[in-house]
Structures are given as C-alpha cells and as structure tokens.
Chain A
C-alpha cells in the first residue's frame, strides 16, 4: 500500500537557519504530494502541493520539488523564523484508478522548533 516516510524529529534550529525536512513516498499510481503545517492546538493547514513530477510547490518561503526518480518531496526554507515552529506533515493522494476518494496518506509528522 501507499506510505509516506518523514525524517524523524524533533528538529531544532536557530532563527535564519536553513531548513530541510526529508520526505519519501511509496505509491502504486501517480500521486499528488502535499505538505501540511499544524501550529500548536490547531488543525492542519495546507502549506504547498505538487501534482506531477518536477513540479515545485512554494508558499511563505517554503519550497518542495516532486522528484519521481527518488520518490521524494523534501521541504526546504532558506531562513526560518520563530513563527515557523510547528509540526509539518508530508502527505500523498494516490489517484490510481480514480478510486482513492481523495484520501490522504500522511507521514508521521516532524516537530520543528526555531529559537531566537
């Protein structure tokens, strides 16, 4: 079945440091890929997405490129801020056969803490 593997956290960085959170996936079809962010005590918010190979999703300074050859969708940001402290989830939606009903498969989440 489909699966998503994220780098284990927690990740602790100083403000303005470079961020990478690794995400790799296994899917039978041609998935769409997503990054979600969850701030403390809140629901998940869509951060960015990519729907086909070599697509780059970007939002709020975050970027991720859909790499089919390495089955990866790593999240990056050049300079993190304290306000970026949150839990980040990588997810995929497998469109194989059109029967996925929009279901997402999530990674386990990576806790990011940014210190001033």
Chain B
C-alpha cells in the first residue's frame, strides 16, 4: 500500500462547480498534512496546511479525518484558473522534516 494515495482523476468540472478530492495515508501517527498545487511543468506551491480538524481559506476548505486516515480538499465556485494538479502531502511523525507526496489529482475546470 502506498504511504499516500490519491485518485489521479482527471476531474472535469464546469466553472462555478464545487469539487472535492480525497487522500488517504497509511501512517496513523502522522501529524502534519498539506495540500500543494502544481501547474503543468511548474514547481509545486503550498496551497494549504491542514491541522487538527481542518481549515478554510476563501473558496478552499481542507478537512482531516484521523479515525479514517484521510484528508480532503473542497473547492467551491471553481474558476478556470483552478485547473492544476493537487498534491496531498503528509509529514510522518517518525521523520519530522521529510514529507511524503501523493501522485496528485488533476483538475480541469471548463468554461
């Protein structure tokens, strides 16, 4: 089983739609979680950090479910500019600085 698993997509949604991605992780002791955004042929950029029960930043909401070992990312009112690959990233507790990256979920927002 992979340490971090994501549905690769693509998720193809119309502008204005709400879309949600899930990510599961295998290490139950993991402490820190992040969502990164990666545009085609560019570097990943930090979108949100996810702590305790989750957090919200504008149209983006991240949730953490420790019991089921998954985190989610909800995007409301999708924009064309949201089209990208979203990477789920986990910090295993046994290595305080190393991050484990999921393979990413691709989102396409159409006009």
A and B found bound together:
no
Interface on B for A, CB 8 Å cutoff? none
Which residues of chain A have a CB within 8 Å of any CB of chain B? none
